[in-house]
Chain A
Amino acid sequence: MLDLTFDSPKPKVIAGAKHDWELVIGMEIHAQVASNAKLFSGASTAFGSEPNANVSFVDAAMPGMLPVINEFCVAQAVRTGLGLRAQINLTSAFDRKNYFYPDLPQGYQISQLYHPIVGEGEVIVDMGLGVARRVRIERIHLEQDAGKSIHDMDPAMSFVDFNRTGVALMEIVSRPDIRGPEEAAAYVAKMRQILRYLGTCDGNMQNGNLRADVNVSVCLPGQYEKYQATQDFGHLGTRCEIKNMNSMRFIQQAIEYEARRQITILEAGGSVTQETRLYDPDKGETRSMRSKEEAHDYRYFPDPDLLPLEIDQGWVDDIAAAMPELPDAKKARFMGVYGLTDYDASVLTAELDAAHFFDAVAQGRDGKQAANWVINELFGRLNKEGLDITASPVSAAQLGGLLDLLGADTISGKIAKDLFEILWTEGGDPAAIVAARGMVQVTDMGAIAAAVDQVIAENPAQVEKARANPKLSGWFVGQVMKATGGKANPAAVNEIVAQKLGL
């Protein structure tokens, strides 16, 4: 079903002062689980509530409160694992990651260091026609999010809101298989697309519901292949981790900057220090987060409040049986069943709502024509008016009705565009509109011939010119179309004009 043959893209090469360097990138994506309630409490996950309104005593870490796991969050992690073709671990366990910060009332984050719920998987990241990067997933674990600190409300104080405290996150850890800034952005985009298809994370990067820590190192050409052959990190350079990126553009810029920074250090004979860094988009540079270094001793230990998480294979199978069609499969189906190009299929599968819309329009119709209308007319118009597909004034059924009229030669292509405009502004049933407003295409040869005769009779000078230069016969076709209000069948007009002019 899936065509999984593709070439790997070339790694990004950066020319240093002395020689060429290659990039090696691994990512940790933090995806907020789409759920109503938090991972271990019954408080809401809603965004934008009053500060500290979505906080239970568990989230506030009041003494004696105990965590009780939200089973739906577990199902979401399993669903995500299945979507990344990953190993599902029927036994996983929670650990405490201890550190001190005002937005962490417990003084520890409940996470899964030693026994994550999801093991090895993979993502195929498209990088152009027939070119894709296979990125291995090392693991996915469930953990709690921290609260939010606001620093600009008071000169001397930070204000802390625990609404996000305890919301479930999936940390999706990749292997260092990403080889350039563009690939890194494409990886995040593909992951976001898969999560949105699965409904396990809404992918809203602006609200911080999807954010990434990016590990960057540089190496000499040839070193990476040695790493892949042996899986020995010793062949690679020392990495730095850029924390908390929530924009694809900034991810690319930060990687670019960080790679050049490391190359400058190495070519000057220095060595890169493994550390955590922050990207400053205003200055376009990364800088060290020294405060993180001191606290790096997290003193992990198994959380004594939580038994190991055991799930049944049957439960996992039920989730697997209810999996939606994922982006790769949908794209392959659009290409196979509807005959779409790789490009059109990519455009139409980028967002799930748009894919559903197209599916409804194309079902039982000419797929390529449906794609043209959805992409060029509908998406074009939606973009122009800043509307989302879910707010489209023209429904899939209406657009399908239009295509039926076009396919049956009831209306011409030009009239179809007029009809689209009417559907957009006024709504209504396409067939009824066409009938009521006399928009039916004229295919009556006699009527067309009469219109052609009239145009010829009224324009003797043009007739002479056209006979000398047959390319000018298009002018007559245009005049006839105008005279018939665009309702004449253009092919028939063409034929009759040529015949009457004796071309």
Chain B
Amino acid sequence: MSGIDIDTARKVAHLARIRVAPEALPKLAEQLSGILAFMEQLNAVDVTGVEPMTSVTPMRLKRRADVVTDGDRQAAVLANAPDAREGFFAVPKVVE
């Protein structure tokens, strides 16, 4: 892993829709690279044959039954929308 350069930092920020000022990019790239370097350090450990640990306590993924228990709360769902009309979220036009 070669770390994160400024271009990659800019791209990642764009993909996540996070606005980062150009002058802040070098520091961000450096910090992200630092995180990756730490991960690289972990890679030094030989984990051959070790099952990935997915939970601290032995737990089974919780299931729900196929029953409708939620919904019919259009007003609450739309309450925080910057713009909502006729029951829809309204966003600047996106057309493929």
Q: Which residues from chain A sit less than 8 Å from chain B, CB to CB? A: 35-37, 41-44, 50-58, 60, 68-74, 98-102, 149-151, 153-162, 278, 289, 291, 295, 297, 299, 306-310
Contacts and interface: CB of A to CB of B under 8 A. Distances in A.
Contacts of A99: 15
B29 to A, nearest CB: 16
Given A307-B61, A308-B54, A158 B66 contact: no
Contact of B67 (A37, A53, A55, A309): A37
Given A70-B63, A297-B15, A310-B61, A159 B89 contact: yes
A51 B87 contact: yes
B88 A161 contact: yes
Top 4 A-B pairs, shortest CB-CB distance: A42-B69, A72-B66, A159-B88, A56-B70
B57 to A, nearest CB: 11
Contact of A102 (B15, B74, B89): B89
Interface of B: 11-12, 15-17, 54-55, 59-74, 76-78, 83, 85-96
Contacts of A158: 90-95
B77 A52 contact: yes
Contacts of A53: 71-72, 74, 87
Q: Is the interface of A mostly helix, strand, loop or mixed?
A: loop
A55 B94 contact: no
B66 A151 contact: no
21 contacts: A35-B66, A37-B69, A43-B70, A44-B71, A53-B71, A54-B71, A68-B64, A70-B64, A73-B66, A99-B15, A100-B15, A100-B17, A102-B89, A154-B93, A157-B92, A160-B89, A160-B91, A161-B88, A162-B77, A307-B55, A310-B61
A162 B81 CA distance: 13
Given A69-B61, A71-B65, A307-B55, 13 more contacts: A42-B69, A43-B68, A51-B87, A53-B74, A55-B73, A68-B62, A70-B66, A153-B86, A158-B92, A158-B95, A159-B86, A295-B15, A307-B59
B93 A50 contact: no
B68 A278 contact: no
B94 A102 contact: yes
Q: Is the interface of B mostly helix, strand, loop or mixed?
A: loop
B82 to A, nearest CB: 11
A160 B88 contact: yes
B71 A307 contact: no
Contacts of B63: 68-71, 74
A480 to B, nearest CB: 65
Contacts of B74: 50-53, 55
Q: B17, B66, B67, B72 — which one has the most chain A CB atoms within 10 A of its CB?
A: B66
Nearest to A156: B93
Contacts of A150: 88
A6 B83 CA distance: 59
A308 B61 contact: yes
A69 B64 contact: yes
A374 B28 CA distance: 72
B61 A154 contact: no
Contacts of A37: 64, 66-69
A127 to B, nearest CB: 34
Contacts of A308: 54, 61
A299 B94 contact: no
A477 B76 CA distance: 79
A74 B88 CA distance: 30
B90 A151 contact: no
A153 B86 CA distance: 10
Contacts of A306: 61
Nearest to A98: B15
A35 B64 CA distance: 12
Contacts of A309: 61
Contact of A159 (B12, B68, B90, B95): B90
Contacts of A70: 63-66
A12 B16 CA distance: 44
Contacts of B92: 156-158
Contacts of A295: 15
